[in-house]
Amino acid sequence: MRITLKVWRQKNAATPGRMVDYRLDDVSEDMSFLEMLDVLNESLIAAGEEPVAFDHDCREGICGMCGVMIDGVAHGPEMTTTCQLHMRSFSDGDTITVEPWRADPFPVIKDLVVNRGAFDRIIAAGGYISANTGAAPDAHAMPVPKADADRAFEAAACISCGACVAACPNGSAMLFTAAKVTHLGSLPQGQPERDDRVVNMLHQHDVEGFGGCTNIGECTAVCPVGIPLDTISQLNFDLRHALGRGH
14-53 residues near another protein, rule: CB under 8 A: 28-32, 34-36, 38-39, 41-42, 45-46, 48-51, 53
- Residue 124 binds to another protein (criterion: CB under 8 A): yes
Q: How far apart are CA 69 and CA 79, in angstroms?
A: 13
Considering only residues 133 through 152, tell me which ones interact with another protein, judged by CB under 8 A: 133-134, 136-140, 142-146, 149, 152
**Binding map of another protein across residues 61-90, x = CB under 8 A, - = no contact:** xxxxx------------x-x--xx-x-x--
Minimum CB distance to another protein smaller for 78 or for 230 = 78
Q: Which stretch binds another protein (CB under 8 A): 1-9, 132-140, 164-172, 231-239?
A: 132-140
Minimum CB distance to another protein smaller for 120 or for 206 = 120
Considering only residues 204 through 243, tell me which ones interact with another protein, judged by CB under 8 A: none
Which of 1, 73, 156, 216 lies at the binding interface for another protein (CB under 8 A)?
A: 156
Minimum CB distance to another protein smaller for 28 or for 95 = 28
Which residues 6+ apart lie within 8 Å of 237 measured at CB?
none
Nearest approach in angstroms of CB 126 to another protein is 8
Residue type, 62: I
Q: Which stretch binds another protein (CB under 8 A): 69-77, 93-101, 127-135, 212-220?
A: 127-135
Minimum CB distance to another protein smaller for 59 or for 102 = 59
Nearest approach in angstroms of CB 194 to another protein is 11
Minimum CB distance to another protein smaller for 79 or for 229 = 79
Minimum CB distance to another protein smaller for 41 or for 216 = 41
Considering only residues 171 through 210, tell me which ones interact with another protein, judged by CB under 8 A: 183-184, 187, 189-190
- Residue 92 binds to another protein (criterion: CB under 8 A): no
Nearest approach in angstroms of CB 10 to another protein is 11
**What is the secondary structure of the chain as a DSSP string?**
--EEEEEEE-SSTTS--EEEEEEES---TTSBHHHHHHHHHHHHHHTT-PPPP---SS-SS-S-----EETTEET-SSSS-GGG-BGGGS-TT-EEEEE----TTS-EEETTEE--HHHHHHHHTT-S----TT-PPPGGGS---HHHHHHHHHHHT-----HHHHH-TT---HHHHHHHHHHHHTSGGGSTTHHHHHHHHHHHHHHTTPPPP-S--HHHHH-TT---THHHHHHHHHHHHHHHTT-
Contact at 8 Å (CB) between 32 and 83?
yes
